[in-house]
Amino acid sequence: MLIIGSHVGFNKDNQLLGSLNEALSYGANTFMFYTGAPQNTTRGKIIDELTLQAMQIMKEMKIDYSKVIVHAPYIINLANGDIEKFSFSVRFLKEEIERCSQLGVKYMVLHPGSHVGLGIDEGINNIIRGLNEVLKDSPVTILLETMAGKGTELGRSFEEIKRIIDGIEDKDRIGVCLDTCHLHDAGYDVTNFDKLLDEFDDKVGLHYVKCIHINDSKNICGSHKDRHENIGFGHIGFEHLISIIYNERLDDIPKILETPYIDDKPPYKEEIEMIRTRHFDEKLKENVVSNE
Ligand code: FE
Ligand code: FE
Ligand code: ZN
Distance 179 CA to ligand 3 centre (A): 7
Beta bridge partners of 145: 177
Q: How far is the CA of 18 from the centre of ligand 1 (A)?
A: 21
User: pLDDT 10s per residue in the chain (292 long)?
Assistant: 999 999 999 999 999 999 999 999 999 999 999 998 877 888 889 999 999 999 999 999 999 999 999 999 999 999 999 999 999 999 999 999 999 999 999 999 999 999 999 999 999 999 999 999 999 999 999 999 999 999 999 999 999 999 999 999 999 999 999 999 999 999 999 999 999 999 999 999 999 999 999 999 999 999 999 999 999 999 999 999 999 999 999 999 999 999 999 999 999 999 999 999 999 999 999 999 997 6
Rounded (10°) angle between helices 83-103 and 120-135: 40
CA of 238 to the centre of ligand 1 (A): 21
Question: Among all ligands shown, which has an atom nearest to the Cα of 217?
Answer: 3
Length of the chain: 292
For position 292, what pLDDT does the model report? Answer: 60
DSSP code, position 239: H
73-291 domain in CATH 3.20.20.150?
yes
**How many whole angstroms from 175 Cα to the centroid of ligand 3?**
18
211 three-class SS: strand
Give the C-alpha separation, 147 to 156, whole Å: 5
The candidate with the shortest Cα–Cα distance to 10, out of 41, 30, 38, is 38
Proximal ligand: closest to the CA of 109: 1
Nearest to 146, CA basis, from 195, 215, 57: 215
Q: Which residues pair with 265 in a beta bridge?
A: 262
Domain ranges across the chain:
73-291
Ligand 2: centre distance to CA 145 (Å): 7
- How far away, in angstroms, is 109 Cα from ligand 2 center? 9
Rounded to the nearest whole angstrom, what is the distance from the C-alpha of residue 131 to the centroid of ligand 2? 19
Residues with CB under 5 A from ligand 2 (ion): 179, 213
pLDDT at res. 37? 80
